[in-house]
Structure formats: C-alpha cells, structure tokens
Chain A
Amino acid sequence: MVLLKAIRPAICCSSSVFDGGHLIPVDKVSFVKFPLPASWLSMRLNSGNNAKLSLIQATEESSMPITNDHAAAISGENLHQIAANGKATNIVWHKSPIGKLNRQELLQQKGCVIWITGLSGSGKSTVACALCHALHSRGKLAYILDGDNVRHGLNRDLSFKAEDRAENIRRIGEVAKLFADAGIICIASVISPYRKDRDACRALLPEGDFIEVFLNVPLHICEARDPKGLYKLARAGKIKGFTGIDDPYEPPLHCELELPQKGNICASPCEMAETMISYLEEKGYLQA
C-alpha cells in the first residue's frame, strides 16, 4: 500500500507530494478526495464560484515483466501498462485543481473548437481570421490552428500520403481539444475532406463543443478564385489527388453551421463571422 501524505491546501493534485500533513494510506490505485479549503472558495475571480472537489488518481503503474520481446522498454517517463503491441494502456489522468471551469471563469467564455471545413479556396482561412478578429474585439480569447501553420511545427514530420493526412487531422483535433480545455475558442481551419476524420475529431470533445462550420462554396467559384494556383496545377495534371478535382470532398451531413447562408450567398467574411458569433452567443460560449 502506498502512503499518501495529505497535502496542504491549496495543493492537492499529485500523489507525490510531501508537504506536512497527516498520512492517508491509500491503495496504489485509488482516489483520494480532498476538500477544498475555504481560502479557495473565496478566491475572487469574476464573482464565480470555483469550488471543486479535487480528485486525485494515483497513477496506475503495473509490474510488467520485460521478459518477452513484445513489451517495450519502459522508462521513468510515466510508466504504464504496456499491451503486447507496445502501446500504453491503463494510463491514469493527473487532475489539476485548476480546471476548465476555473479557466472559463477567468476568461469569461467557454472553450470550444470551431472546425471550419471546405474546399481549397472556399475561404476558410479568411473566415477564420474574421472570426478571430470579431472575437478579440469582444474581449474573447481565440486561437487559429491552420493546416499550414501546424505543418510548420507539430506536424512537420508528416507527408501527404493518405495515412499522414489522416494523422495531420487527428493531431489538429487533439491539440484543439487541449485548447478548448484551456478555455480558448480554438478555430481549426483545415480542408479535412473526409467525414471519418472530422467525426473522429468531433468525438474527442464533449457534446456541443465541436462546432463544425461548412464553407459550402461551389467548386467552380473556388476554382475561379484559385488563390494559390492549385486548381490550375491540378487540372494540368501536375498535382494528383487534389481535393475537388481527383479526390473527393465529403460535405458534412450534420454540421452546426453552413456558410454562406442561403439567401445571402454573397456574404462577406465579416458577415459570416457575425453569423458564427451569433451562434456562439446563443449557445453560451461567449460567457463563463
């Protein structure tokens, strides 16, 4: 049985704390509930009540015999039980006492992911920028994850093979999830042509926090714009598998917003951003 020392308020998030306090014996894998001290409840932040019970989950560590070839070498990097395929299985979350609700109270908004999808040239980046600007002018914190920006850094190891493209979208989804958890309105602006990949990202987030925005602009308009000259290259056969030309774009079946709206197909990016702002406002994302 691992001994867990109760930590002084306001720290109660790790089983590895050694502050003064009384000993609370716990099983190696177990929960310890720590009451939040009154000092936390009186923490003044936009008059919200941030009292939370902090659950501490002791990290599950297994004794995995390393006698067979399947088990990967295990380092001190947060050891986990290793399945035969070498992937981590029963990893347990460390829960911080400062959670999403606290951050949302601080920011006076709710974190979410606005996933803007559409053909190349449909205006995703433009609308993303317009939305970001509109949110910022209202004092809201937003951040854009753009397919290109992310490929500069996190995803620079990925190529354009099919599996890497799926991985590109998966990682963007996971990062967007982290940003939403941080309380940020995260705007992902990626073609993301396959429903399966977008739906997988949707599944990462709580209901409602994944807001799919489909830029429904006909191919011929996108091609007439051709802001990056890609359609021309694709038509000339210089690019293979170009979405919309010789690779499919699968439009969403149940997206939250479709732009431009019927009856206002000439809407400017600013107008489309305002439509999105109205949606966010209505759904309560522009307040804690």
Chain B
Amino acid sequence: MAALKMVQPPVSCSSSGSDCGPLVPVPKIGFVKLPSFSMGLNGSNYARLSLVQATEESNVAMTNGRAAVVSGENPPQMVTNGKAGNIVWHRSSVGKVHRQELLQQKGCVIWITGLSGSGKSTLACALCQALYSRGKLTYILDGDNVRHGLNRDLTFKAEDRAENIRRIGEVAKLFVDAGVICIASVISPYRRDRDACRALLPEGDFIEVFMDVPIEICEARDPKGLYKLARAGKIKGFTGVDDPYEPPLNCELSLPPKGNSCASPSEMAETVMSYLEEKGYLQA
C-alpha cells in the first residue's frame, strides 16, 4: 500500500506532495479527502474538498511484442494496442468555477460552421470584438491558425481533416475549462466530426452557429479564389463543389436570421451576444 503524505493547506491537489503532515495510508488507486480551504476572491467562499486521485499506474508486462515502451511520462495501464488505458485525472485545487468567478463569465465553445466564404472568420472577429468591449475574455481558434502550429503535421487527406477537427475540439474544451469563451471558426463539413466535438463538452457549452449562406453567394464572394479553382477542376474535393457540406440538424443558432438575410457581421455578432447573455455565459 502506498503511503500518501498529507500536504500542507492550501495545497491539496496531488498525491505526490511531500510536505510535513500526518501520514495517510491509501491504496494505490484511491481517493484521499483533504481538508478544504477558502480563497478570498470577490467575497465568495471557494472552500472545496480537494479530491486527490492517485494516478493509476500499472505494471505492464513487457514480455510481449505488442506492449509499448512505458516511460516515466506518467505511464498508464497499457492495452495491447499501446494506447493509454485507465489514466486518472489530476484534480487541481483551482477549478473552472473559480476561474469563471475571476473572469465573470462562463467558458463555452462557439463553433461557427459553414461553407468557405460564408463569413465564419468575419463573424468570429466581430463576436470577439463585441465580447471584448464587454470585458469578456475570448480566443479564436481558426482552421488556418491552428494548422500553423498544433496541426502542422496534418495533411488534407480525409483522416487528417477529421483529426484536425478533433484536435480543435479538444483544445476548445481546454479553453472552456479555463473559463474562456472560445470561438472555433472552421468549415467542419461533416456532422459526425462536429457532433464528436459537441460530445466533449457539458450540455449547453457547445454552441453551434451555422452560417447558412447559399453557395451562390459564397461563390460570388469567393474571397480566396477557391471556388474558381474548384470549378476549373484545379481543386478536387472542395466543400460545396465536389465534396458535401452537411448542415447541422439541431444547431443553437443559424445566421443570418430569417427575415434579415442582409445582416452585417456586427448585427450577427449581436445575435450571438444575446444568446450568450440569455443563457448566462456573460456572467459567472
């Protein structure tokens, strides 16, 4: 049985603390409840029980060829395909609720989807501006920006495009946990990929905004010259031309609103703002 040393308040988040304190024997996989602490911030009481979950580490028999090499990088139990099995979360003492209180907002993902040229990036920028002017912290994840860095190893093959969306979804989830209003602006043409991102987040925190602009209008804009190239056969598998765009079936918002098909980006941003306000995301 592994011994766990109690850590000094208010640090109470890891099983690897070795401050002075009483010894609390725990099983290797178990929970240790440490005394709560209070943090003065905006007059609220943040007393929380900090659960410490000992990280599950397994002894993986390295006698068969299939088990991956286990390093000290927090190895989890291995399944035979070498992927991590039962990894356990480290719980930090400062959580999402605290951060939201600090920021006076709730984290969420605004997932803007639509054809190329439908105005996703433009709306994203307008929304970012509107939120900033209200003192809210946002961050835009743009398909192109992310492909510069995190996803620079990905090509445009079908499986890499799905992986591109998956990673954007996972990063957005981290931002939401940080309390940030994260705006993802990606064509994301397949329902399955978008729904998979939705499933990563708590109910309500994934706000799908469909830029419902007819292809004729997108093509007339053709801000990047892509439709022209696609029609000339220079690009294959271009969404809207010879690759499908699957519109959302149950998105939270569809823009521009019916009856205001000439809404400007600012006006559309205000529509999103009203939604966020109504749902309580613009306050802690």
Nearest A-chain residue to B240, judged by Cβ:
A76
Residue A96 lies at the interface, judged by CB distance under 8 Å to chain B: yes
Query: Is the Cβ of A230 less than 8 Å from the Cβ of B265?
Result: no
Nearest A-chain residue to B171, judged by Cβ:
A175
- The docked-state distance in angstroms from the alpha carbon of A11 to that of B236 is 32
Query: Is the Cβ of B147 less than 8 Å from the Cβ of A96?
Result: no
Chain A proximity mask over B94-128: 1 for CB below 8 Å, otherwise 0: 10001100110000000000011101011011101
The residue that A132 contacts in the complex, of B92, B149, B175, with Cβ under 8 A, is: B92
Residues from 89 to 113 in A contacting B, C-beta threshold 8 Å: 91-94, 96-98, 102-103, 106-107
Chain A proximity mask over B5-35: 1 for CB below 8 Å, otherwise 0: 1011011111111111000000010000000
Query: Is the Cβ of A14 less than 8 Å from the Cβ of B69?
Result: no
Query: Is the Cβ of A193 less than 8 Å from the Cβ of B72?
Result: yes
Residue A213 lies at the interface, judged by CB distance under 8 Å to chain B: no
Query: Is the Cβ of B41 less than 8 Å from the Cβ of A76?
Result: no
Query: Is the Cβ of B16 less than 8 Å from the Cβ of A92?
Result: no
Nearest A-chain residue to B18, judged by Cβ:
A225
Main secondary structure of the interface of A (DSSP, over half): loop
Residue A239 lies at the interface, judged by CB distance under 8 Å to chain B: yes
Q: Range of interface residues on chain B? A: 35 or more
A182 in contact with B139 given A77-B161, A133-B11, A156-B84 (CB within 8 Å): yes
Query: Is the Cβ of A228 less than 8 Å from the Cβ of B15?
Result: yes
The residue that B235 contacts in the complex, of A74, A228, A237, with Cβ under 8 A, is: A74
A16 in contact with B144 given A87-B152, A137-B41 (CB within 8 Å): no
Residues from 50 to 83 in B contacting A, C-beta threshold 8 Å: 54-55, 57-62, 68-76, 78, 81-83
Query: Is the Cβ of B69 less than 8 Å from the Cβ of A241?
Result: yes
Expressed in whole angstroms, the minimum distance between the Cβ of A192 and any Cβ of chain B is 8
A160 in contact with B70 given A125-B90, A153-B200, A183-B137 (CB within 8 Å): yes
- The docked-state distance in angstroms from the alpha carbon of A128 to that of B128 is 30
Query: Is the Cβ of B178 less than 8 Å from the Cβ of A184?
Result: yes
- Pick from B202-210, B223-231, B246-254, B272-280 the stretch touching chain A: B223-231
Expressed in whole angstroms, the minimum distance between the Cβ of A15 and any Cβ of chain B is 5
A58 in contact with B157 given A63-B234, A126-B11, A160-B68 (CB within 8 Å): no
Query: Is the Cβ of A239 less than 8 Å from the Cβ of B62?
Result: yes
Query: Is the Cβ of A64 less than 8 Å from the Cβ of B234?
Result: yes
> Considering residues B54, B245, B264, which has the most beta carbons from chain A within 10 angstroms of its beta carbon?
B264
Neighbouring B residues of A7 by C-beta, 8 Å? 122, 265
Expressed in whole angstroms, the minimum distance between the Cβ of B138 and any Cβ of chain A is 7
Neighbouring B residues of A181 by C-beta, 8 Å? 139
Neighbouring B residues of A244 by C-beta, 8 Å? 72
Nearest B-chain residue to A152, judged by Cβ:
B87
Query: Is the Cβ of B8 less than 8 Å from the Cβ of A43?
Result: no
Neighbouring A residues of B229 by C-beta, 8 Å? 61, 63, 79
Neighbouring A residues of B76 by C-beta, 8 Å? 148, 151
The residue that A74 contacts in the complex, of B74, B133, B147, B236, with Cβ under 8 A, is: B236
Q: Range of interface residues on chain A? A: 35 or more
Residue A190 lies at the interface, judged by CB distance under 8 Å to chain B: yes
Nearest B-chain residue to A124, judged by Cβ:
B16
Neighbouring A residues of B235 by C-beta, 8 Å? 63-64, 66, 74, 79
The residue that B72 contacts in the complex, of A28, A97, A120, A156, with Cβ under 8 A, is: A120
Residue A196 lies at the interface, judged by CB distance under 8 Å to chain B: no
Residues from 227 to 247 in A contacting B, C-beta threshold 8 Å: 227-230, 233-234, 236-245, 247
Neighbouring B residues of A123 by C-beta, 8 Å? 14, 16-18
Neighbouring B residues of A136 by C-beta, 8 Å? 39, 41, 94, 98-99, 102
Expressed in whole angstroms, the minimum distance between the Cβ of A26 and any Cβ of chain B is 11
Residue A141 lies at the interface, judged by CB distance under 8 Å to chain B: yes
Residue B135 lies at the interface, judged by CB distance under 8 Å to chain A: yes
Neighbouring B residues of A45 by C-beta, 8 Å? 132, 135
> Considering residues A66, A92, A157, A239, which has the most beta carbons from chain B within 10 angstroms of its beta carbon?
A239
Query: Is the Cβ of B11 less than 8 Å from the Cβ of A130?
Result: yes
Neighbouring A residues of B55 by C-beta, 8 Å? 148, 227-228
Neighbouring A residues of B212 by C-beta, 8 Å? none
The residue that B88 contacts in the complex, of A11, A94, A148, A230, with Cβ under 8 A, is: A148
Expressed in whole angstroms, the minimum distance between the Cβ of A12 and any Cβ of chain B is 8
Query: Is the Cβ of A159 less than 8 Å from the Cβ of B84?
Result: yes
Interface pairs (18), CB distance under 8 Å: A73-B237, A78-B143, A87-B155, A106-B135, A133-B39, A133-B93, A133-B94, A139-B102, A148-B55, A148-B90, A151-B84, A167-B153, A178-B139, A178-B175, A192-B73, A227-B4, A238-B61, A242-B70
Given A2-B225, A78-B187, A182-B178, 5 more pairs with CB closer than 8 A: A98-B125, A129-B11, A156-B83, A159-B82, A178-B175
Question: 7 closest A-B pairs (Cβ-Cβ)?
Answer: A243-B72, A76-B239, A238-B59, A159-B82, A16-B223, A129-B13, A13-B125
